Amino acid sequence: MTAAAVSTRIEAAATCLSWIPPQAVEGAFKLPFSMGVAHYDAPPPNSAPDVDSLLAADAIRFANQLRVWAGESIPLAPARSGVEGSLADSILVSGAFRQHHLPAGTMLAERPISDCEVQVLLDGLLLIEIDGKPALEAGPGAIFDPATRTKESKEHVRARAKTHCRLAVMSRAQLDSQALLGVAAQQTSRLRDVLGG
């Protein structure tokens, strides 16, 4: 997502690509995939995708473009960074995770995981609140790692399900610790930008 402010007007645009990783399909819906009638997709590129080429190659299911204009200063930030996106894609492709659901309106903290686990948002939209005020939205691919949360984050940031959400939960031991630290550093930087320091 990119954002630019002119006076108090903010414009933002985002492209959402729909793709199906292994383990995203459950139950009887797996049958077409096992028969070769349908196929899973490789992760799409993290930035500046050529949507027409991806569609022509049958590499994604569809793409949506969203443009937003706001007349007040709302801090907009990417829902996930390049490092976060790459790590989330590797988690999804691995299929080595369990899933849990978060009903709309529920705080993420109400479904705690241990400090040795990481969550990735599979479906839905989480509203990230800073000091009780909406700050940004996180969509599929956003990573939540309780072990790397800073004191600032624990004091100021809460995540609430804006829609029904489905999350993947995976052991930190199965992931690249340097990549997780990179995600944490980028999330901390975004938080400090929003907090003004």
- The model's pLDDT over 55-88, given as tens digits with 9 standing for 90+, comes to 788 887 777 666 655 544 433 344 455 666 677 7
* pLDDT at res. 162: 92
Q: CATH 2.60.120.10: which residues of the chain?
A: 76-197
76-197: CATH topology is Jelly Rolls (2.60.120)
pLDDT at 6 over 60: no
**How is the beta sheet containing 2-6 ordered, strand by strand?**
2-6, 9-18, 62-70
Distance CA 20, CA 28 (A): 16
pTM: 0.56
Query: Per-residue pLDDT tens for 10-67?
Result: 566 667 777 787 777 788 888 877 888 887 777 777 776 787 788 788 887 777 666 6
More confident: 118 or 77: 118
5 φ/ψ angles, rounded to the nearest 5 degrees:
-110, 130
* pLDDT at res. 5: 34
